[in-house]
Amino acid sequence: MSAADSAAISIAEAELLFEDLKSVPAIIVAVSGGPDSTALLVLAARWRAAIATGPQLIAVTIDHGLRPEAVREALTVKKLAAQLGVRHRTLRWTGEKPVTGLQETARAVRYRLLSAAARGAGATHLLTAHTLDDQAETILIRMARGSGLAGLGAMRREIELDGVILLRPLLDVPKARLVATLQAIGLPYADDPSNRDPRFTRARLRAMMPASPAKGLMRDAWRFWLAASGARIWR
């Protein structure tokens, strides 16, 4: 990985990430408290402060009711949002949880709650913190499942979701740069153990990568190659 691929993101770069959103009325920023979404909130707040005028930012944290630590993490996000001058809401998934397909169901509920929050706040856009690493992992998972050409296109930067525009502004950004951004300002972030839980496909994939034959430069290069290949399918 080159130094540029692990460098903190500057305010000037943040302005480029969000420049198409200057004229929208309000934006929902999905923030779990992990490194990616925390960095997204910080970058969006920096951008909003730099342009002086622009959309209202509203940070929304979803508590899935699956981990007791989630309550504390949501409060931490709320405190950070207040420091950044951003409104914050915590929404909770209540009721029975499925025995199988938990992550898939949680994802569907999360997007349903986020899109409803956006419509209720008059926000036209919902931002999530999916990164270049997430894109590459998604393509690998779909390849393993025998996905067709459309599936190998993986995530798109912008899609319509229940009357709201779902935007992934960090989709071309390596996760390492987001972690570096937080480290540069000394900002801690939450660690969700489910990201390493071998019950889940994505966690198993991440665990396998350091042990694969692709080490050093090649281990980093796979992410860029996969993400770029997936993006070309949509062109």
pLDDT in tens, 200-211: 555 566 665 544
Given a contact cutoff of 8 angstroms between Cβ atoms, the answer to whether 77 and 31 are in contact is yes
pLDDT in tens, 76-94: 999 999 999 999 999 999 9
Please compute the mean of the pLDDT values over residues 175-186 and round it to a whole number: 95
Q: With a cut of 50, say whether residue 213 has pLDDT above it.
A: no
Please compute the mean of the pLDDT values over residues 15-40 and round it to a whole number: 96
**Number of domains within the chain:** 1
1, part of any domain: no
160, part of any domain: yes
Report the CATH number at residue 30.
3.40.50.620
Among the ranges given (32-36, 102-106, 209-213), the one the predictor scored with the smallest mean pLDDT: 209-213
Q: With a cut of 80, say whether residue 159 has pLDDT above it.
A: yes
Number of H helices, E strands in the chain: 9, 6
2, part of any domain: no
Cα–Cα dist 37/187, whole Å: 13
Range of the domain at 121: 8-233
Residue with tokens 């007791």: 68
3, part of any domain: no
